[in-house]
Amino acid sequence: MKFLDEAKVWVKAGDGGDGVVAFRREKFIEFGGPDGGNGGKGGDVVAEAVEGLNTLIDYRYAQHFKARKGGNGAGSDRTGAGSEDVILKVPVGTQILAEDKETLLADLDAPGKRVVVARGGDGGYGNAHYKTSTNRAPRRADKGWPGEERWLWLRLKLIADAGLVGLPNAGKSTFLAAVSAARPKIADYPFTTLHPQLGVVRLNATEEFVLADIPGLIEGAHEGAGLGDRFLGHVERCAVLLHLVDGTQADPARAYRTIRQELAGYGHGLTEKREIVALNKADAMTPQARASRIKALERACGQKVLAVSGATGDGVPEVLRMLADTIAEHRRGD
């Protein structure tokens, strides 16, 4: 299935039904009177977060959604039928934005969460509503109120507990494939990952978490270089970032600083998240090179650096344990 994390849609709620002018005329009843009913309410347009979806591809080809008009009133004080709502089913983690693409209207970050994005119009009053002691035969009836109409942006931010960041070819996809059942594309050239990938990491029968791999960043990504930083939104909700640095390059410290600068350029609190730094591809380095590069990387990041290999699995259990412990602390609110 093609991955799509952004879509623009037009929604139109149903107009309210019209009220009617009617008078009671029945045999053996001496005095009639107004009995025109009110119109029914127009249908709402509702967005609902549902499980089992992880892309907005459904809204690439169907972009216009219109609810039906409420039923008109009728004689004998009959109110028109209300119309059914139109439900937009979106993945958990979808944000609803106004047409300016900046005003956040709703954040559907839990299954079953719903929001009315366009409210249906109320029905118009029939002439029975206007009957008074001094106006016993009103001939006034109102049209239904129009339903709301607007353009909206849907933006998906995947729900993941931990996020993988790093330069292209840092080995993120290999790591994700090694620790979960996800099968991302793996090749020896940069930008093999073109859209985010999710994998469920199971440490044991009771511990598991969701790990997200996003396309690699390059210098200037926050200004649009490479694939840009548009996919960083998918790690905004993560409790911890796993920063993988390619150990086979000559200057891993510079690679680390490059990614941190791009996270800072993107903003949204990513630089404030807990971070675990790992020197990847440890199997491709000599012991001397590994020790010197770990030391240089520790000076750059100011914390302990782990040596791992997604290809052979060396050091992976230790990294997963640190990720799981950090996520557990975040869930407890520590």
Asked if 6-156 and 162-332 have one fold, the answer is: no
The reply to whether 23 sits in an annotated binding site is no
Any binding-site annotation on 192? yes
Q: Which of 153-162, 195-204, 221-230 has the highest mean pLDDT?
A: 153-162
Amino acid, single-letter form, for residue 168:
P
Name which residue leads in pLDDT, 216 or 169. Answer: 169
**Domain formed by 162-332, architecture:** 3-Layer(aba) Sandwich (3.40)
Provide the pLDDT for residue 135.
Answer: 87
pLDDT of residue 223: 57
pTM for this predicted structure? 0.72
**Is residue 172 part of an annotated ligand binding site?**
yes
Residue 334: which pLDDT band, with cuts at 50, 70 and 90? Answer: low
CATH of domain 6-156: 2.70.210.12
The answer to whether the annotation marks 169 as part of a ligand binding site is yes
Is 269 marked as binding a ligand?
Answer: no
Q: Which of 58-72, 185-199, 206-220, 298-312 has the lowest mean pLDDT?
A: 185-199
Does residue 265 register a pLDDT over 90? no
Q: What is the CA radius of gyration of the chain?
A: 29
CB atoms within 10 A of CB 289: 14
- HSE of 188, CA atoms in CB hemisphere, 13 A: 3
Annotated binding residue 168 = yes
Close Cβ partners of 179 (under 8 Å, ≥ 6 residues apart): 199, 201, 211, 316, 320
Inter-residue contact 79 to 51 (CB < 8 Å): no
With H, G, I as helix, E, B as strand and everything else as coil, classify residue 294.
helix
- Listed by start position, the domains of the chain span 6-156, 162-332
CA distance 167 to 163: 14
The answer on whether 222 is annotated among ligand-binding residues is: no
Pairing status of strand 149-156 against strand 94-97:
antiparallel
Q: What is the pLDDT of residues 301-319, one digit of tens each?
A: 888 888 888 778 788 888 8
Cβ atoms within 10 Å of 84's Cβ, excluding its own:
12
Say how many CA atoms lie within 13 Å of 108 toward its Cβ: 26
